[in-house]
Amino acid sequence: MAGVLEGSAWTLGDHVDTDVIIPARHLLTFDPEKLAPHCFEGVDPTLASQIRPGDIVVAGHNFGCGSSREHAPIAIQALGVSCVIARSFGQIFYRNAFNLGLPLLEADLPPGAVRAGDRLSVDLATGRIENRTTGAAFDAAPIPDFMRELIAAGGLIPFVLGRRA
């Protein structure tokens, strides 16, 4: 997950919970291809068909709050979303996303800093977020060291298997 990501922004509000990210009726599978079309269905059922690979989701407080379902980050990843920026994250979602290799950045963006469709570039190493459309730049909280270790190991399971060996 090193390097600089670039993509168009999708903006969402506060408390986007895992039930609206992927409702329980779709949880009979964890096949990313099957989950993707239903991603964000509870926010806007047309969103999944509009999001393009590489796009970046920008949300408010408490993104991913609610259930522990890993289907939520799986579905977001399956849409090709390269990273999620939010003011804060639900804690279980936060772990799940990094365990799967979906990077998250915590950033207290001023209101209106990013609008839907803005082109963003995000440097995961430094946490620097640039809005290419407006020219403004912001700093996200750096990704904690432990999360970097996980990503470097290729996810949680390779990390613990490596450690055990």
Number of residues that bind other proteins (CB under 8 A): 43
User: Footprint of other proteins on residues 45-64 (CB under 8 A)?
Assistant: 45, 61-62
Told to check if 155 binds other proteins by CB under 8 A, we report: yes
For other proteins, the binding residue among 32, 37, 66, 127 (CB under 8 A) is 66
Alpha carbon distances (Å) from 93 to 62, 67, 68, 127: 10, 8, 7, 19
Least Å from the CB of residue 4 to other proteins: 27
For the segment 24-43, give every residue that binds other proteins (CB under 8 A). 24-25, 27-30, 41-42
Query: Could you give the C-alpha distances from 111 to 20, 67, 114, in angstroms and in order?
Result: 23, 28, 8
> CA torsion, points 151, 153, 157, 161, in degrees to nearest 10?
-160
Asked if 58 and 114 touch (Cβ cutoff 8 Å), the reply is yes
What secondary structure letter does DSSP report for 136? -
What residues make contact with other proteins under the rule CB under 8 A? 15, 17, 19-20, 23-25, 27-30, 41-42, 45, 61-62, 65-71, 74, 88, 90-93, 95-96, 99-100, 144, 146, 155-158, 160-161, 163-164
